[in-house]
Structure 1
């Protein structure tokens, strides 16, 4: 007598594994990008760090880049203690190189603003038609209480130092075409369009490096302040996540980018990465993951009951 065929445990195991939600595992967020350690709010990939920063700061082939509507710029340093990011502009003129540039600008909704120490000097500007040299061209401040010139009259010495650089002096630019651009306090709306200002290039630096009269020693680049939120505080769950060796991130597939803690094994949780009895693969499952598990377990049970009805 031939016994009826019974669905094997292997078949049910295969069905169970096949139906396991892929969302239980995710990519492992990297802790560095090239030589730079990555800490909140910055992240290596989608779902890592703060979602507001992902579109502006990204890791590409080991290079940390900052992107605005003007272009992409290499990140040269991040001061996590003071929340300042330093970038360089390859089109910027320095004491060793002078070249044409279109300028620099920040996106109006970017969580960045200029560090107060930034100094911008516009180079080779038209003294006859550039708006910065028009005697009646003034900038009205935020409170409309006063007006200031676009050029800093106290910046003549800075222009003198810059024009003593070999790279600038060799093209015989008169110092009168240099303007130390003052309205850098426009916040995220700042946009230095050299085409409109009719200048061929600019130089930016954030420190004299204690040698003001030696432009070869200045720290060229742009310093940008960043803020986590209005109160400039970590999300409440982030410290717990980092203390457990996790990386703060977010659920990129959700409508509200809800907080997730990315653990070293690639499992996302809603809190931390501490191990315990209620953890799976070394990490506690979030509530939505538990619900998904239960759904598929119930589905496997129904399939098993359905298959047994044919025995």
Structure 2
């Protein structure tokens, strides 16, 4: 087997040093804003959310994840599949595979309490109802609530309503429970109260009231799932960035400082895409995680020329070793 010639060694060294420097810089011509995915499966991803770091609002950073076309939301109690997102009536509808559903019947699987991080801009919707099954009457107050509780809930004791509409009309399966199985409706004010309820109940489920756009009282129908409301932070910077007349950028943030960035096709700016004061040839702003530092291609060519000159000089003065690379003349 022969040894590589000095010429081929020089070529290999040039490729190993220069190409890695130049190739990434060529990718800077790609759209910066295109790094932010606009959907996951069939669910649109709009501001304030983002599944790619640096996209959307930093208030919701790393809360949503997209895996194999399935959008998921992370909370302290686990990761939950997202069924839908509404931006006009801001809320996220979640599915909890640990909760009871109609297919379970009287098979009450072990469950866990759902919780949200109180430091985020998420909140449990008041349109959720929680049904608890086979609760211990020694530890849980189970009683039908008087009619006036609907108008004056603050005058009612915290009891689990055994005569609730949902217990008598379970969504999708009106009579899924066998006779003798108790059901009551209770809205936990905090995770701790939910945890205590589950300590003395066999299982639970969440039902939210979905608006179907009909006239009252038929405008809402019950559906299994957890509705989580969210805030949309509105800032002048973001509105200006999204303004089509100003370039129609996407709102994002610097992944190191979390300060606002407008993501444009040409790069990232702190103002808006068509700002006449911005020079796209010397981007000094931070970039979305996953993009590359804005070193100019001309600089890369200069580096490549310097390396080429250096290698030519080494080749000229290197001793002839007949293909044997010694420690004295090793380049790497």
Q: Structure 1 length normalisation: TM-score?
A: 0.66
- SS of the counterpart of 1:248? strand
The residue that corresponds to 2:164 in the other structure is 156
In the alignment, the residues of structure 2 paired with residue 237 and residue 269 of structure 1 have an alpha-carbon distance, to the nearest angstrom, of: 12
> Does the C-alpha gap of structure 1 residues 17 and 160 become closer, same or farther in structure 2, counting only changes over 3 Å?
closer
Does residue 181 in structure 1 map to residue 210 in structure 2?
no
Is the Cα–Cα contact under 8 Å of residues 86 and 223 in structure 1 kept in the other structure?
yes
Cross-structure match for 1:106: 116
- The residue that corresponds to 1:226 in the other structure is 230
Tell me whether 201-210 or 148-157 shows the greater mean CA deviation.
148-157
CA contact (8 A) 2:160 2:186 kept: yes
Give the match for residue 175 of structure 2. Answer: 166
- For 1:123, the equivalent position in structure 2 comes to 133
User: Which residue of 83, 96, 110 corresponds with 2:90?
Assistant: 83
Distance in 1 separating the partners of 2:104 and 2:240: 44
Structure 1: segments with no counterpart, 5+ residues? 1-10, 135-145
* Structure 1 or 2: more strand by fraction: 1
1:286, distance to aligned residue in structure 2 (A):
4.4
Please state how far the C-alpha of 1:65 moved relative to its aligned partner: 0.8
> Structure 1: how far apart are the matches of 2:159 and 2:243?
46
Instruction: Indicate if the aligned counterparts of 1:246 and 1:262 stay in contact, CA closer than 8 A.
Output: yes
Who is 1:204 aligned against?
A: 206
Q: Is 1:96–1:166's contact at 8 Å kept on the other side of the alignment?
A: no
Which one of the candidate residues 275, 283, 291 is aligned to 1:285? 283
Distance 1:113 1:288, change over 3 A: closer
Say if 1:21 and 1:293, in contact at 8 Å, map to a contact too.
no
Aligned residue runs from structure 1 range 66-81, under 5 A: 66-81=73-88
- Structure-2 residue corresponding to 1:261: 262
Equivalent residue for 1:246, pick from 240, 243, 249: 249
The count of residues paired between Structure 1 and Structure 2 equals: 271
Distance in 2 (alpha carbons) for counterparts of 1:108 and 1:149: 26
Instruction: Assess if the C-alpha contact under 8 Å between 2:254 and 2:286 holds in 1.
Output: no
Q: CA deviation at 1:173?
A: 0.7
1:41 to 36, 40, 48: 48
- TM-score, normalization by structure 2: 0.63
Q: Is the 8 A contact 1:103 1:193 kept in 2?
A: yes
Larger Rg belongs to: 2
**Pair 222,180 (structure 1): closer, same or farther in 2 beyond 3 Å:** same
- 5+ residue gaps, structure 2, are 1-13, 144-153, 288-292, 314-332
Q: Does 1:32 align with 2:77?
A: no
Aligned mates of 1:162, 1:298 — CA distance in 2: 66
> 1:70 Cα shift?
1.5
